[in-house]
Amino acid sequence: MSTRQQHVTRSVSAGLLIASVALLAGCGGGGGGSGSTSSMSMISIAGTAATGKALANATISINCARGSMSVAADANGNYHATFGAVMPCMIAATSGGTMLHSAAFAGGTYNVTPETDLLLSYLAAQLGTNESELIVGFAANTQFQQTLQNQTDVLTAQAAVVQSLQQTYGVTLSAPNFLTTAFTVGQPGEDSDLEALLARGAIDANGEPDAAAVSLMATMGAAHPIATSPGAGTGGSGGSGVGGTGSPGGMM
C-alpha cells in the first residue's frame, strides 16, 4: 500500500465516521442541532473506474450529504448504484493498492480516475484545504457541500485541470469533460488520455496521480480561491446547500 493510500484511507475512515454522526444528528439525535431540511430522493450514479486500465472489481463507496452506498465494479471497471440520498456525493474506488476519488453534483455519469482525483485536489485547494481534509470534512462542512453541488464551480475547476495538464505535460485531452463523459476501457477517448498522462508522468506506476501533479493542482487551485458563503464552514448542518459559492476559480 502506498504512503498516499495509507494517508487517504485513514482520512476516508474518519470521514465515514463523521458522516455517520452527521446522519444520526440529521435524524434527530442530539439536541440543538440545525439538521438538514433536504429530503432524500432516489438517485442513480454510474461510471467507470480506471487508470488507463480498468479497476476491475473495484469497491466503489459513495457517501453523500445524506445517504451512502457501496457497490462492486465489474471486470471492466463499470459501476452503477441507485439509492436514496441528498446530493452532493463523494466517490471512492479501491482496487488492490490503488485508491481514487471523484464527486457527483447530481445523478448521472461520474467516472473515478486519476483525472477526477486531481480535480478534487484542485477544488480542495480552492477551498483552502487539501484532498484528504476535503474528504474528512465533507459530511459536516456546508461550504464543501455547496461547492461540490455547484455544477459551475466543479466544471470550471475541471477546465482548469485540463489546461494545467496540457500546459505542464503536453497532453491535449480528447475528452476534456473527463468527470461525466461515459467511456470504455481500451477504446479511444478518455482511456487513451489516461494512457498518455501515464506515459508523461502525471500518473504514477500505482495508477494514482503523481505527487508532482497533485502539487501542481494544489498550487493552481489555491491561486483561484472560492469565496466563502455567509454561514458556511465546519460544524454545519450536513445539508447539501444550493447555489453558487463564489468566484468560479478557473485558470487565467
Domains of the chain with CATH codes? 3-222 (2.60.40.1120)
Exposed/middle/buried for residue 185 (C-beta within 10 Å: 0-12, 13-18, 19+): buried
Backbone angles phi and psi of 171, in degrees to 5: -110, 115
Write out the H or E segment, with its range, that includes residue 244. none
DSSP per-residue letters across 107-126: SEE--BSHHHHHHHHHHHHH
Predicted local confidence at residue 125, as pLDDT: 98
Predicted local confidence at residue 38, as pLDDT: 74
The owner of cell 495508477 is: 207
Mark the ranges of the chain whose per-residue pLDDT is less than 50. 3, 6-7, 9-36, 234-252
> How many C-beta atoms surround the C-beta of residue 34 within 10 A?
13
pLDDT digits (tens, 9 = 90+) for 106-159: 999 999 999 999 999 999 999 999 999 999 999 999 999 999 999 999 999 999
Instruction: Please tell me the pTM assigned to this model.
Output: 0.80
Measuring CA to CA, how many Å separate 183 from each of 52, 61, 99, 177, 179? 11, 20, 19, 11, 10
* Nearest CA among 198, 128, 189, 124 for reference residue 161: 124
Q: Where are the alpha helices (DSSP H) in 177-235?
A: 190-200, 211-222
Exposed/middle/buried for residue 112 (C-beta within 10 Å: 0-12, 13-18, 19+): buried
E strand intervals along 67-117: 68-72, 78-95, 98-104, 108-109
Predicted local confidence at residue 230, as pLDDT: 55
Predicted local confidence at residue 227, as pLDDT: 82
Write out the H or E segment, with its range, that includes residue 61. strand 59-66
E strand intervals along 145-250: none
